[in-house]
């Protein structure tokens, strides 16, 4: 049985290759409202409330919150080794990009709407920093 994968050339700020299980959200994540000790999203009305971001390839539409809120929240996750493996953002802004760079969390932009839509089904993402390529591996293929 063949494994389906999709490769997208992207813009990425990273210094290492990384991978992670897709954690897709239609709504942005405010990192200040993620528990740094458990990596669980705490935001009351967020569809991913209670879901852990640690080691995940977090796919979000945009950043959310001020520079202090984003940077401090991501930094607190980093100090407890609970940060996402990467952040993939459809509509980047300077706040989310700079917070990720400062906290050494690979951040990916320039992803097509089609590729973003494919991530809704889950699977895993593999980021090659040197080639600036993001590969989506279909759900379940990781275990084949």
Question: Any catalytic annotation for residue 124?
Answer: no
Alpha carbon distance 88, 104 (integer Å): 14
Write out 72-110 in H/E/C secondary structure: HHHHHHHHCCCCCCEEEEEECCHHHHHHHHHCCCCEEEC
- Integer angstrom CA distances of residue 77 from 14, 54, 61, 107: 18, 8, 20, 15
- Distance between CA atoms of 82 and 73, rounded to whole angstroms? 11
Q: Which of 66, 67, 98, 124 is catalytic?
A: 66
Annotated catalytic residues are: 66
């Amino acid at each position: 049985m063949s494994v389906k994968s999709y490769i997208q050339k992207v813009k990425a700020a990273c210094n290492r290759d990384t991978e992670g299980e897709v954690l897709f959200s239609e709504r942005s994540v405010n990192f200040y409202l993620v528990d740094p000790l458990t990596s669980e999203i705490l935001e009351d009305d967020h569809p991913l409330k209670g879901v852990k971001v640690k080691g995940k390839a977090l796919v979000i539409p945009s950043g959310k919150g001020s520079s202090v809120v984003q940077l401090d929240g991501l930094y607190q996750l980093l100090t407890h080794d609970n940060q996402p493996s990467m952040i993939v953002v459809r509509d980047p802004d300077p706040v989310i990009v700079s917070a990720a760079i400062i906290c050494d969390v690979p951040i990916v932009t320039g992803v097509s709407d089609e590729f973003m839509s494919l991530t809704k089904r889950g699977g895993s993402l593999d980021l090659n920093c040197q080639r600036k390529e993001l590969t989506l591996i279909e759900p379940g293929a990781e275990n084949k």
